Amino acid sequence: MIDIRLIRENPELVRQAAADKGMKVDVDRVLEVDARRRAIETEFNELRSQQNRTGERIAKAPKEEKAALSAEMGKLKARLRELDEQRAGVEAELHQLMLLMPQIPAPEAPRGRDPRDNVEVRRVGEPKRREDFGFPFRDHLELGEKLGIIDMERGVKLAGSRNYVLRGAGAMLHEAVLRLAWDLMVGRRFERPVPRDQGAKGSRHDDAPAPSLSFEPLTVPVLVLDKLMEGTGFFPLHRDEVYLAERDGQCLVGTAEVPVTGFHGDEVLALDELPKLYFARSTCFRREAGAAGKDTRGLYRIHFFDKLEQVVICAADDAESAYWHEVIIRNATDVLDALELPYRLLEVCTGDMGQGKVRMFDIETWMPSRDAYGETHSASRFGEFQARRLNLRYRDADGRLRFCHTLNNTVIASPRILIPILEMNQNADGSVTVPQALRAYMGGLERVS
């Protein structure tokens, strides 16, 4: 959610943001409803003051005047009740309209309409095409079925389309990837970004060396209240993509971003508590609404998977947000480097980044069966967008209440990452060489055959 004052003061900026993101929003209706809400609030406050004055007059008035004053008081109370009802309706409409307003993208974010306008930042590693293997290429599903480590047929039998079962070494590879990423995150230490001005009283940092920071692991619920989905920006626009437990007002998350970002919702943090650095592993559920007939083969587009997600909650400072954005991207690419997988980093254009994001990068890993890079990570910076919805605030150095900035990125998600692992490491006999970085998690196993 963005600040209503921004819409009042610069509606064209919001209209342009909506155009840049390919969204249709009614800025004029927001301004109209907001003006009505403020008019009601003004009249309500004036009548409440008049009510107080009338009450004082009644207390002091002679007996013969009390009846008229009491009648006046009755009219005031009736009008106040009427205004209160009107205010509730207007505020509800304004809230729903505000939920649809786009975050303003960063000036440096590339403008574009769709994924074709995303900008490649860099490539790492050498992609290997089907013809480069020197033997008949097998995609990950053919490999997995012949090795007995992927069972799509029984997955469908258990849960319907886009479901699977990982067996034996397939399940071991899945766990190994997640444990490698977990250990990498637990072992990392980071310095605070360069101190910045925090108001008239100066920075929170003094000359003493700051302790290094680390990401704290969390175990979080994957069934959450609907208000968290609204708070993190998934509702109302993406409600059809979520599995709902409507009877209980809950839903299954598509990412641990939801409970982790909402962890401090409705709290006021101290400046010295920031940044909050978290990561969590969760099973993630996605309906893949609108994906009928798309990526139906194998493990690319499925209904459930496991993911390590990293979340940063920091002060409302663009430079600090940018610093942590680089950190969470590096955490992810270091896992891919350890797995020796070719990948590329893309900056996502405005038309592809979604409603709430200030700036966004995708990491795509090379998948020979697709003869292309496939998305495996998404690193997003939200500014205050999520914090406003979650009422997630802190006090700055001047004691003012401010909304935090939030960021998130995948560390690793499996089994999608098994696609390049299996395909890039296959051998002529149909076996798969286990990447060196995973062998310690698989009892020393060097080859799945």
Q: Which residues are catalytic?
A: 286, 301, 375, 378, 416
Backbone angles phi and psi of 102, in degrees to 5? -85, 150
How far apart CA 306 and CA 410 sit, in angstroms, is 11
Among 154, 145, 164, smallest CA distance to 296 is for 164
**DSSP state, residue 115:** G
How far apart CA 179 and CA 177 sit, in angstroms, is 6
Chain length of the chain: 449
What is the token pair recorded at 156?
């469908």
Instruction: Report whether 252 contacts 245 (CB < 8 A).
Output: yes
Instruction: Report whether 413 contacts 377 (CB < 8 A).
Output: yes
How far apart CA 138 and CA 136 sit, in angstroms, is 7
**CA-angle at 295, arms to 293 and 298, nearest 5°:** 120
Instruction: Report whether 280 contacts 259 (CB < 8 A).
Output: yes
What is the token pair recorded at 409?
């990125």
Concatenating the DSSP letter of every residue in 29-53 gives: HHHHHHHHHHHHHHHHHHHHHHHHH
How far apart CA 126 and CA 78 sit, in angstroms, is 75
Instruction: Report whether 306 contacts 413 (CB < 8 A).
Output: yes
Instruction: Report whether 117 contacts 351 (CB < 8 A).
Output: yes
